[in-house]
């Protein structure tokens, strides 16, 4: 069901500093910051030959990343994102096997402009999983 690894997301307390570290110390191509108010984050993507790293900074005090950084002030891996062909089908199959979809269970548009869902970390060995539809078109 899951396809390729789309990205690994890292929560950071200072997006500008983290971006500079990846760009200047590691020589990576780093995108411009983009605010994602529906998800409560500001993001940049670090482009790698085989995947991406998503750096996340809280956008407001109610951000889930702000809560994450309260527990881990230096930051850390927040989630892993896998691509799926049909996000609705993937959600239904996972729920039938007992996995919990976070939020209202409906896909939201993510930072790549494609539908995404998050799966409860307690159902996946303590790891928050994001599923992203590989194409932008959602199945009916």
In this structure, is residue 138 part of a structural domain?
no
Selecting among 54, 83, 130, 132, the annotated active-site residue is: 130
**Tens digits of residue pLDDT in 97-131:** 999 999 988 899 988 889 999 999 999 999 999 99
Our count of domains for the chain comes to 1
In this structure, is residue 139 part of a structural domain?
no
> Judging by beta carbons within 10 Å of its beta carbon (0-12, 13-18, 19+), is residue 110 exposed, middle or buried?
buried
In the Cβ-directed half-sphere of 99, how many Cα atoms lie within 13 Å? 23
Residue with the larger pLDDT of the pair 135 and 56:
56
In this structure, is residue 99 part of a structural domain?
yes
75: CATH: 3.10.180.10
pLDDT of 139 strictly over 90: no
Residue 61 appears among annotated catalytic residues: no
The reported pLDDT for the residue numbered 140 is: 43
In this structure, is residue 88 part of a structural domain?
yes
Please give the residue range of the domain that contains residue 78: 5-133
CA-wise closest residue to 114 among 4, 2, 6: 6
């Amino acid at each position: 069901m899951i396809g390729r690894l789309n990205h690994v997301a890292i929560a950071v307390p200072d997006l500008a500093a983290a971006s500079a570290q990846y760009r200047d110390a590691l020589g990576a191509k780093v995108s411009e910051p983009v605010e994602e108010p529906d998800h409560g984050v500001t993001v940049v993507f670090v482009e790698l030959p085989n995947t991406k790293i998503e750096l996340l900074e809280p956008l407001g005090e109610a951000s889930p990343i702000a809560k994450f950084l309260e527990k881990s002030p230096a930051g850390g891996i927040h989630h892993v994102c896998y691509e799926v062909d049909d996000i609705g089908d993937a959600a239904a199959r996972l729920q039938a096997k007992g996995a919990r979809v976070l939020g209202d269970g409906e896909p939201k548009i993510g930072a790549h402009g494609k539908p995404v869902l998050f799966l409860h970390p307690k159902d996946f060995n303590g790891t928050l999983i994001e599923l992203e539809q590989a194409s932008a078109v959602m199945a009916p």
